[in-house]
Structure 1
């Protein structure tokens, strides 16, 4: 299945050059209500990192206008399973964790070796990828997403975190990828007994995250099958820029004109 992302030319250039997709922290996105939402007193937005897409193949005038600098942008189409997979063998020890059996994950060795972050390693649909649910009251929808237990521990329903937006955003028809990333002292390994205690203290004390974004590696075959649609009223000069990026970084990908060309003028 192909999914779509509306963005500007600068971001397209970075995606193609670095072969990565950027996940932005939820408390820094354009939906301020969602970004500042709380669950059991926890401002969860700083620990959630999202990459926002849509499964709607029909071009969206609102999305063109909101996310492409009014004519200086593109729509990217790519397979949903776009990220590079890494394989680890039984007995491999990475950042204090011993792999049991063959493990396939989207986390590179460099990611797993990061000593000051904990990336929750779950990439199943429903947790990593989900279609957004649009609700009249965001606080009600998130009410039981995190339950604070009497002993100071927490129960998380990960499929609910980063899954809801107010109904006013329904026009986006959004689907998104979500990563859970938490700060961690370099002196504590994920395999240590004290790790769970530390993670609870992150939530109890509201310990701030240390990063604003995270980049995940793209699979080369998925990248080479990308399609790029030009904004409806793109100038000739910007079209040349996009064509040059495609020639430099992609194989046999030619950007196509929007189906809305000569139909809408984005001002």
Structure 2
């Protein structure tokens, strides 16, 4: 398994990445494959899964140059697979996750389990409709051993969200960094006792309805990384770039990084605009 993963983007996006030291995670509710946010029993709850999309294909892809760079100009960034945690200890990674969650008014899950960073997963390509439209709801009723009162039990199994796509996407050979983010309002409702004020079956339905209808401040989350990873970064220039575009890439790296010795690789492709 090669150490590097690759991310295609425009030069404008490269500048934002270098300037802010973040990569953008998009909700499955806005990615190009509209099936990804849908489940068999909970509508489009996949929108709580946020992903940053990469590929393990070392060979250049004409499709990706055109699709993910805007078809005008761009770069392909190569970084080590563990770059989100590189140079950081466990407490630092946990604090970053908490800060990102508070900024976006979401709880990022799982916040307390190692490695406390975005989870890296390979996308599995399939024609199995069961995997494409997963069942995610687990619900029932519990009885309190102390007071005998019946309470609602409602959970969403998120571990497979964002892991499966149909075979016709397989040319992307995609890997993803994944975050599960639930609006904090849902937890504030829970803490206030909103879901304890009625019959268990009614409360389960209320929890379900609230979570489906809740909105996010943004349909993306910008997650930071340690700029030390720049020392291991590889930049490949798009075959669609002009000389001015390539000069802009060099300027961006000089302005926003401390790199003094970096190599900009030229594409081996010849593509007519």
- Fold conserved between structures, TM > 0.5: yes
Give me the whole-angstrom Cα distance separating, in 1, the residues matched to 2:133 and 2:233. Answer: 39
The offset of 1:71, in angstroms, is 4.0
Give me the whole-angstrom Cα distance separating, in 2, the residues matched to 1:186 and 1:136. Answer: 34
Return closer, same or farther for 1:124/1:207 CA change in 2, 3 Å cut-off.
Answer: farther
| 1:17 paired to 2:19 | yes
**Helix, strand or coil at the partner of 2:57:** coil
* Aligned counterpart for 2:238 among listed residues 231, 235, 259: 231
**Helix, strand or coil at the partner of 1:159:** coil
Residue 258 of structure 1: aligned partner: 267
Q: Do 2:42 and 2:137's aligned partners in 1 also have CA atoms closer than 8 Å?
A: no
**Helix, strand or coil at the partner of 2:241:** coil
* Aligned counterpart for 1:141 among listed residues 96, 108, 131: 131
| 1:208 paired to 2:214 | yes
Give me the whole-angstrom Cα distance separating, in 2, the residues matched to 1:234 and 1:104. Answer: 36
The offset of 1:195, in angstroms, is 9.6
Residue 165 of structure 1: aligned partner: 165
Return closer, same or farther for 1:30/1:202 CA change in 2, 3 Å cut-off.
Answer: farther
What TM-score do you get using the length of structure 1 for normalisation?
Answer: 0.79
Residue 92 of structure 1: aligned partner: none
Q: Do 1:86 and 1:107's aligned partners in 2 also have CA atoms closer than 8 Å?
A: no
What TM-score do you get using the length of structure 2 for normalisation?
Answer: 0.78
The offset of 1:142, in angstroms, is 4.6
Report how many aligned residue pairs link the two structures. Answer: 246
More helix by share: 2
Give me the whole-angstrom Cα distance separating, in 2, the residues matched to 1:164 and 1:51. Answer: 15
* Aligned counterpart for 1:132 among listed residues 91, 101, 123: 123
Superposed CA offset, 1:109-142 (max 9, x none): 52355593211125659x82110011114x4115
Q: Which moved more, 1:48-57 or 1:113-122?
A: 113-122
Give me the whole-angstrom Cα distance separating, in 2, the residues matched to 1:82 and 1:106. Answer: 17
Residue segments in structure 1 that go unaligned for 5+ positions in a row: 89-102
- Higher-Rg structure is 2
Residue 181 of structure 2: aligned partner: 181
Q: Do 1:132 and 1:175's aligned partners in 2 also have CA atoms closer than 8 Å?
A: yes
Return closer, same or farther for 1:195/1:33 CA change in 2, 3 Å cut-off.
Answer: same
Give me the whole-angstrom Cα distance separating, in 2, the residues matched to 1:199 and 1:73. Answer: 48
Residue 199 of structure 2: aligned partner: none
The offset of 1:87, in angstroms, is 4.1
The offset of 1:257, in angstroms, is 0.3
**Helix, strand or coil at the partner of 1:62:** helix
Residue 226 of structure 2: aligned partner: 219
Give me the whole-angstrom Cα distance separating, in 2, the residues matched to 1:145 and 1:105. Answer: 30
Return closer, same or farther for 1:128/1:158 CA change in 2, 3 Å cut-off.
Answer: farther
The offset of 1:105, in angstroms, is 2.9
RMSD over aligned Cα atoms: 3.1
